Amino acid sequence: MELRHLRYFAALAEQLNFTRAAETVHVTQSTLSHQIKQLETEIGHRLFDRIGKRIVITEAGEQLLGRVKHALSEIDGGLRAVRGSAQQLSGNLRIGVTHTFNVSLLPACIDIFFGKHPSVRVTVQELNAESVARGVEAGDFDIGIAYRPNSPAAISFEPLCNDEMALVVSPRHPLAGRRRIRMVELHRQKLVLSTRDTTTRELLEGWFRSVGAEPVVVVEMNPIASALALVRRIEAGAIISRQALTETADLHVIPIENPTPMRTPGILWHRDHQPTAAAKSFAVVLRNTVIGTRMASSGRASVNGQRPVGTIGSSTKLRRSAPK
């Protein structure tokens, strides 16, 4: 059975006349008759009967017709959507994003998106994860990009990947020679961490408690660029998402183990709102960028002897350190 059989059946059921139905689907009357017979043979039921010069639909045909109409409507709607998405979009796209993904991932995605849809006006607002979720819920954003929040019922979360956090130190730091470090070894270590009102800090505190570690938090700040600039100047480390580590050639990035701090970033949608065409198109760009950079990251890790991690959007050059 092919799609054309269903279109021919629907046309004949509507016209109940082979000549008019054939004209509707742009085939000859004999072709239409042959295709209908093929469909009846495959189904195992007669779909039409001839009563004199009249064509009538059978009971089996009536049962099939409603479902065929629905199926054809869905298929045609999907085709229209695909053809429409290939055209240049316009209008506005409002994005709520957390700081981590506004460092490199979002600019890369916007660059690709503008290459396809330069007429769309994009507005980006950087907030914490819970505020992004509230913005999506309130209809202030068409799409949200954040770690998994304590989502309200109206929010649908689409996971993208796992994002690992790592310890970042300067070459002068006592831990700079380590290839990896256990979470418990951060006990009494001087750290630069995000502020206590962030989800990241809440998760880190939970991981510290799980191993009985109590690091010395010397500075609390949220901007990643500022935290890395401070790490370059003082003898303290910072625990940063690998996704945000784009300029670390002069720093040492040390994987953390037992446990490895891992978070799940994703796309936030309003569960009851139909996404705009621009939002759906941008989501495709976002997913493809994540997939591409994860593959590139795994490839670099294999070449450099590092263990692959599920990071996204990062071009971090990990400096290999000698084992302790």
Q: Do domains 91-161+265-295 and 164-262 have the same CATH topology?
A: yes
User: Is 0.75 topped by the overall pTM?
Assistant: no
Question: In the chain, which ranges are continuous DSSP H helix?
Answer: 3-15, 18-25, 29-43, 59-85, 105-116, 129-138, 199-211, 224-233, 277-304
Task: Measure the CA–CA gap between 44 and 55, rounded to whole angstroms.
Answer: 19
Domain boundaries, the chain: 3-85, 91-161+265-295, 164-262
pLDDT, mean of each 10-residue run, the chain (324 residues): 88 89 89 91 90 87 89 82 66 92 90 92 92 93 89 83 93 95 97 90 94 96 92 96 83 95 92 91 92 57 45 36 35
Instruction: Write the CATH number of the domain with boundaries 164-262.
Output: 3.40.190.290
Q: Is-contact 98 163, C-beta < 8 A? A: no
Query: In this structure, what token pair is assigned to residue 228?
Result: 């890395």
Give the model's pLDDT for residue 297: 53
Give the model's pLDDT for residue 298: 52
H/E run at residue 296: helix 277-304
3-85 CATH fold = Arc Repressor Mutant, subunit A (1.10.10)
H/E run at residue 298: helix 277-304
For 323, other C-beta atoms within 10 Å of its C-beta total 7
CATH number (3.40.190.10, 3.30.465.10, 3.30.420.40, 3.40.630.10) of 91-161+265-295 reads 3.40.190.10
Residues paired with residue 181 on neighbouring β-strands, in sequence order: 256
